[in-house]
Amino acid sequence: MKDVTTNNVAETEALGQVLAAQLRPGDVLLLRGELGAGKTAFTRGIAAGLGVEGPVASPTFTLLNCHEGRIGLSHFDLYRLDGDDAFYEAGLEDYIGGNAVAVVEWPERCEGAMPLCRLEINICYATEENERNIIFTPMGGFREVTL
């Protein structure tokens, strides 16, 4: 487990870029945190590091946005789903693994559908307004990352 503190949105995005340099096709990242904690900002940094061009927004209403880059990015927002069955009924499991990196916001909504091998990333509010504590926990054999 690694713990990093960022002081603003730009630093949160930059940390996502640092992580992206170490990602491989098929990697799964689960982003946990309260509304507004910075999950999408972190994902924008990952996208930039993967060579994705264009805007990256949370797919709250579409559930999934796929982006092309040096490595593809499948960006999920499961907030509106209610359980594993809804995840499978939407066919979303087809976008986990494969040739893209999967970044999943609100994975707790469909916890049983998430793969065991993953990098869990908890983004928490810190003491200052724009400061965030970001905790990285590899699970199920996911390799250690350098940050």
Identity of residue 77: D
In DSSP notation, 103-125 reads EEESGGGGGGGS-SSEEEEEEEE
Terminal Cα distance for the chain, rounded:
11
Angle between helices 9-20 and 39-49 (to 10 degrees): 40
Write phi, then psi, for 93 (nearest 5 degrees).
-60, -20
pLDDT-above-90 percentage for the chain: 88
Identity of residue 87: F
Domain boundaries in the chain?
Answer: 2-139
CA distances from residue 132 to 6, 45, 54, 127 in whole angstroms, order as listed: 5, 15, 25, 8
pLDDT at 129 exceeding the cut of 80: yes
Phi-psi category of residue 36: left, alpha or beta, with phi > 0 → left and psi -120 to 50 → alpha: left
Class of the CATH domain delimited by 2-139: alpha beta
Q: What gap in Å lies between CA 29 and CA 125, rounded to an integer? A: 19
- Which tens digit of pLDDT belongs to each residue from 55-96? 898 887 889 999 999 999 999 999 999 999 999 999 999 999
- Cα 111 to its chain centre, rounded Å, is 14
The bridge status of strand 2-6 relative to strand 132-139 is antiparallel
Give residue 59's pLDDT: 81
Give residue 29's pLDDT: 98
Q: What gap in Å lies between CA 84 and CA 18, rounded to an integer? A: 31
